[in-house]
Structure 1
Amino acid sequence: MDTQITATPKLYIGIDIHKRSWKVHCATDIGMGKTFSMVPDAYQLESYVNKYYGGHHVSTVYEAGCCGYSAHRCFESYGWDSMVVNPADVFRRGKERHTKTDSIDAQLLARELKDGRLAGIEVPDPKREQLRSLFRRRNDLVKDMRQIKSYIKMQLLYYGIKVPEQYDNDHWSHGFRHWLDALDFEFQTGKESLESRMRSFRFIDREFRDVSTQLRKWTKKHYKEDYMLLRSIPGIGPIVASGILSELGDLRRFRNIKQLAGYVGLSPGIYQSGDTLKHTGMAMRAHRLVRSYFIEASWQAIRADPIMQRYYRKHQGKNVKKVIVKVARKLLSRTLAVIKTRTPYEIGVVE
């Protein structure tokens, strides 16, 4: 009796991706398949699949990490269904929580993919992904600037040099920089140490300004509509608007404010067991960089917008940190509203 194929066979591939090797597990719809190691090359994986699983409908999955999305884009170019997942979203059974190897991870990904329990993350297009890299470079420079300033002040404190009162603040004016350049030490080595740190400071400062300028120019040129909509909101400046567009992508993909707040991390954490119900503050899972920028922008919003200022004063007397998180959530809601409606925000007037 002749047999006929009535359905397309399916292949599920879980990949544990590393810099020097991939651990791959192939499972079909009727069997668990096998696990093997290979060089990190999507083309070689395609050759393997074509040789041993020709005619299969192929689905792949791997965890987001340092290797980015280049493999994902290669798999999609082969006509495969590809997914990149957040490692925290992969369900692990009891033993799998305490036993971790590359083989187990690959098998786990293939199993969860086959059972349909995985939800992929939003993979940015290359244009937005590389804009994100520029935004994160600026954030790295902010950290470097903070560090070199601390080193310089530490050296002054160590040698007992008191900073003049007019310069003793976070703003390093040109006058303060000239004062640092003019400092004298008992020995030349102390002067050389400070001059070296000042050269580092000036280099970082120049890089910071250049990167910030390029970030603003690129975002305004290539995402002008959404950029101008965001800039209409009091508290959201050019850098915050650029960060939102680079890190969060197109906000229209979020169905509602609850989904967006959960992604950013401005939703409340709740723990309930029986009759016990506790609010644990902000959710632990968050996009911490974007959340910090929204909280920072909220302080500007309550100064510039009467409506936001009235909302803040209504909660005065409570914990300041909790109140500013409420303001940040409100600011996030406005952000989503102006993008979805394509209507600039108009500053309200307190009645």
Structure 2
Amino acid sequence: MEMAVTPVVGVDVSKKKLDIVLLVSGKAKSKTLSNTLEGYQELVEWLVKQKVSPDSAHVCLEATGVYSEPLALWLHDAGIMVSVINPGCIKGFGQSENIRNKNDQIDAGLIARFCAAKRPPVWVPPPKEQRELKGLSDRLLALKDIRQQEKNRMEAHDFAGQADLVKNVDEHVKWLDQKITELEKEIDDHIDRHPGLKHDADLMRSIPGIGSTTIAKVLGHIGDIRRFGSAKALAAFIGVSPKQKSSGTSVRGRTSMSKIGNNDLRSALYMPGMVAKRYNNLLKTFAERLSANGMAPKAVTGAVMRKLVHLIYGVVCSGKPFDPNFLNSGLAKQDGI
């Protein structure tokens, strides 16, 4: 494979260390540093020692959440070109190279070769208010998950006649309820303090089935929805687009949800999809038509989730609240709703 002249740096990020491979004109050099601010600075110093100007390098790393974001932000602020790649893309690229072994240095080299071959777009960090909203909404979900787990335990203790344990768990559940209420208020206040977030939240809230928790999740993980060129692109990002499986005349698999996208957002849209099937007249009609055509209930919910994404994109990009009479318009019929 012919490598571009621009030096590329593949970084495999873990909690404690950074495994680095520098690729220049087909020649690879490796380095391991700590995943700390000191390590980030050492990376720049190491590049200089390798006679590579940091300003001319293209650094690529996988999107691994809390472990990769600080490095990506530091590199961006330092004026270094950085790309944050979907791990699925790296995995597919590795399969194309028929790689059988796996360790951190091999992964770093794979990321570097992907960067050299594909030249992925430069990463632009989300605004600070979006990153803060994402952290708040993720924390809210974690607390709700813990509360549900505790309620399940309380039910088991009650069935076993363990009154003391029931009381102990109940006290924790009440404490969680208080913290969840406080966090929900903090999220609402955070959105209200930022006009851009509040404007989009108000538009999304007009859609029956979309509540405050889902709004915070969507805005925290996506930010400005207008950056997507179409509703289909947004649906693909979340992973609710239909996936077909057919080949020749013999393979005719059932169309399913792709699930290649943001898993957190997809999970956050499941309950709104269930609610919208019953209480959003537009999507209720859509769901009833799919059910009458023989589509499985779970698949119907997935299709409603996709339509919810289209509605979210529509109200935000148009700047107009949801229109409950949309079903009677020619556009609705044209869109096949």
TM-score bucket of the superposed structures, by smaller chain: 0.7 to 0.9
Residues 204 and 315 of structure 2 are in contact (CA less than 8 Å); yes or no, is this contact kept in structure 1? Answer: yes
Deviation at 1:96, TM superposition (A): 5.1
Do 1:60 and 1:82's aligned partners in 2 also have CA atoms closer than 8 Å?
Answer: yes
Deviation at 1:226, TM superposition (A): 0.6
Quickly say closer, same or farther: Cα 1:110–1:252, change in 2 above 3 A.
same
Q: How far is the alpha carbon of 1:98 from its aligned partner? A: 2.4
SS at match of 2:126: coil
What amino acid is aligned across from residue 39 of structure 1 in structure 2? S
Looking at structure 1, the residues matched to 77 and 324 of structure 2 have their Cα atoms a distance apart, in angstroms, of 47
Deviations 1:77-127 (A, max 9, x none): 332210111111110146754200111111111112112254577742332
CA deviation digits over 1:124-180, x for unaligned, max 9?
A: 233212211110111111111111111111112123xxxxxxxxxxxxxxxxxxxxx
Q: Which runs of 5+ in 1 are unaligned?
A: 1-7, 160-189
- In 2, distance between residues paired with 1:83 and 1:105? 16
Q: Is structure 2 residue 19 aligned with structure 1 residue 20?
A: no
Residue 303 of structure 1 deviates from its aligned partner by 4.0
Q: What is the RMSD computed on CA atoms of the aligned residues?
A: 2.4
Contact conserved, 2:240 with 2:259, CA < 8 A, in 1? Answer: no
What is the percent sequence identity of the aligned residues? 22
> Would you say 1:257 and 2:231 are equivalent positions?
yes
Question: Counterpart amino acid of 2:72?
Answer: H
Q: Is 1:71 aligned to 2:71, yes or no?
A: yes
Q: Which amino acid in the other structure matches residue 84 of structure 2?
A: V
**Pick from 288, 307, 330: which aligns with 2:282?**
307
SS of 1:255's equivalent in the other structure is coil
Gaps of 5+ in 2: 329-337
Match of 2:42 in 1: 44
Spell out the pairing of 1:327-346 with structure 2 (5 A cutoff): 327-346=304-323
Q: What does residue 189 of structure 2 align with?
A: 217
Separation in structure 2 between the aligned mates of residue 27 and residue 349 of structure 1, nearest angstrom: 54
2-side partners of 1:337 and 1:215: how far apart?
24
Q: Is residue 298 from structure 1 mapped to residue 298 from structure 2 by the alignment?
A: no
SS where residue 315 of structure 1 aligns?
helix
Q: 1:243 aligns with which of 209, 217, 220?
A: 217
Q: Counterpart of 1:61 in structure 2: which amino acid?
A: C
Task: Pick which of 35-44 and 197-206 moved more.
Answer: 35-44
Pair 1:80-2:57 in alignment: no
Rounded to whole Å, the distance in 2 between the matches of 1:202 and 1:321 is 34
State the partner residue of 1:62.
61
1:350 offset after TM fit, Å? Answer: 6.7
- Select the structure of larger CA radius of gyration: 1
Describe how 1:5-154 pairs up with structure 2 within 5 A.
10-28=6-24, 30-40=25-35, 41-55=39-53, 57-65=56-64, 66-90=66-90, 91-93=93-95, 97-116=99-118, 118=120, 123-154=125-156
Partner Cα separation in structure 1 for residue 182 and residue 98 of structure 2: 47
Aligned residues of 1:268 and 1:279 also touching (Cα < 8 A): no
CA contact (8 A) 1:12 1:59 kept: yes
137-146 or 290-299, which deviates more:
290-299
Q: Secondary structure at the match of 1:115?
A: helix
Number of residue pairs matched? 313
Distance 1:141 1:336, change over 3 A: same
